[in-house]
Structure 1
Amino acid sequence: MQPAQPPFRRRGKKIRVGLSHVTVLNESVERNVIWHILGAGAQGLLWAYGLHQSHQHCRLLVRNSIPGAMATYQSGDRTVHFSVSMLTAELVQEPIEYLLVTVKANQARQALQSIRSELSDDAIVVLMQNGIGVESLARAVLPPRTRFLLGSSTHGSYRQSANHIVHAGQGQMLIGDDTGQISADHPAIQLLQQTPLNVRWHDNIQRVLWHKLAVNACANPLTALLNCRNGELRQQPVAQSWLPALIEETCAVLAAEGHPLAVSELRQKIEQVLQITAANFSSTQQDYLAGRETELAFINGTLIRCAEIHGIEVPAHREILRIVEQRGSLGAWQALSNS
């Protein structure tokens, strides 16, 4: 058995990260810290792997319970098999105090409603969705004393099969709080930073989310319509013909929202993301290919709504969102080429 990691302290609390569990001691009351993960997609499984590797308890909240499920993590030539508890919300026996929400933005409202009664009154909820808008609906759905953290992942990952995740691109988990309720030295943040997922605190998480939205709004619809991996966009003539207009419109809206990016900066960010996650399929591409609703209402849709407020014209974003929403995968290339 490996020795426990050294304790760290904050405001009278002592957190000990041991081999099999994490214990919080506060005023002589001892209890296990259990992370619950709402959503068993690629990001949920990535968090489950990270928590497992740092010897922390976690449970995936799913539609059909599999208490002793096995999952697979793959990164290059490295493969790790690990056990994970998959439970329905009804089988959770104690109030949920630490919740990672990894369902997609368009699934968040229904998913949060399904676990509302299981949350403790002052639970810490980490929202990891793409786009803008989930925080406001989460505040409307969950108890008023719930404390929220906002997160953004730059990891590239996708599911090879139901419980098999491929970590296609190493990145960061950026987490922050724009309300001032939680700070970087909070025990929850310290625990997440024990994982191998490169978790970092960011003081301006809204800017992070807007800048990620900017990249996703330009790249994700194209990966869906051209049915390609992220890195393949760089060699797609049709994608390269669309990107200049999408980038310019995006930068105009970001400036109006107070999170400016120069056109050259956004193009560089897009290039970096496409390079780092070259082998990855975007979540939009996967949803589109499977005939599911995509997250673009929270990405391009948010951009369009903000453009309307500021009186900015965004014809390229309107058109590409229309193509995604109205056309199936057959003829997608022709749809783009003839637009």
Structure 2
Amino acid sequence: MRSEVFRVGLSADFLDDSRQLVFPDIGLSVLDSDPGIEHRFLSEYYPEYTPEQLQGIDVLISLKPRVSEASLAGVERLCAIGRCGVGYDNVDIRACTACDIAVYITPAGVTRPMAESIVLLVLALSHNLVRKDRLLRQGRWAESTQPLGREPRGRTIGTIGFGNIAKEAVRLLTSFDVGRFLVFDPFVTAEQTRALNAELVSLEDLLRRSDYVLINCPLTAATRHLIGAPELRLMKPEAVLINTARGPIVDEAALIQALSERWIRAAALDVFEKEPLDPDSPLLQMDNVIVTSHSIGWTEELFRDMGRIDCEGALAVRRGQAPANVVNPDVLSRPGFQRKLERHRGHATP
């Protein structure tokens, strides 16, 4: 057994200003089960990691900071980066692969809370929840009773992207007697969508037919501004848009125009092109928009489960194994990555 301490670093944004955990449980008990593992929170928060922060650690568990090519300059020991969540657009995957660093994510921890959040926003828009709340707080009781809501029962819900979160959302929404589910996703088959009684269609067909359009795809070069003015004009005037994925998938300026000119009825947005959202954004003045701070799915269970998965990935590296859910699989066969794992092989965690 190697006597060298295995070091896990965690980004500083897991802590508040007094260096206390922001979240009740992020799975650190998984690491505490092995006395040969030392874990610590980075002392400073920067929007982008510096090489000095990453020196001397074997696994990084990261919340918000960016990992750039510059972050990795001269960083030789780091073997894996565990992202809390399923998005990794703030990680330079090419640079990580070139530096023999595996990047892994936590899909099982995110699926249920995010799917529940989508259901929440579907129902909130359907029943004009936020508008009623605002009007009643202003003493406008009678006005708050109008206009009437529109249930998802018998209507069409379309999802752009059909990964784990979208599938779980469809499962949950089925209990509301939705008329039909439509899917646009170039990476799935009609057979896969039929398994959940959904129909695979083109993007244009989905936009024209759907009463609810759900954004559930990752942010890539191909999906940036996937939904712009031409696409929004295809939607029904009574349709709503829900984006809990990534802000830049939707052209925000076009969406603001669509909402202000009533091309569509409403939107619910947990994500934005630039975060935090500018306090002067027109979105904040609109009565047909629900906005949340990229945290609609944040629950105690979400952070507990994401943390445990990330810590289990660190334990795998400690044993000389690749973690699960690696998003840059090409790194796994690279000699440099294998040499890093070899340093830990033969160690059995308790």
TM-score by length of 1: 0.38
TM-score by length of 2: 0.37
| Larger strand proportion of the pair | 1
Higher relative contact order (CA 8 A, sep 6+): 2
| Larger helix proportion of the pair | 1
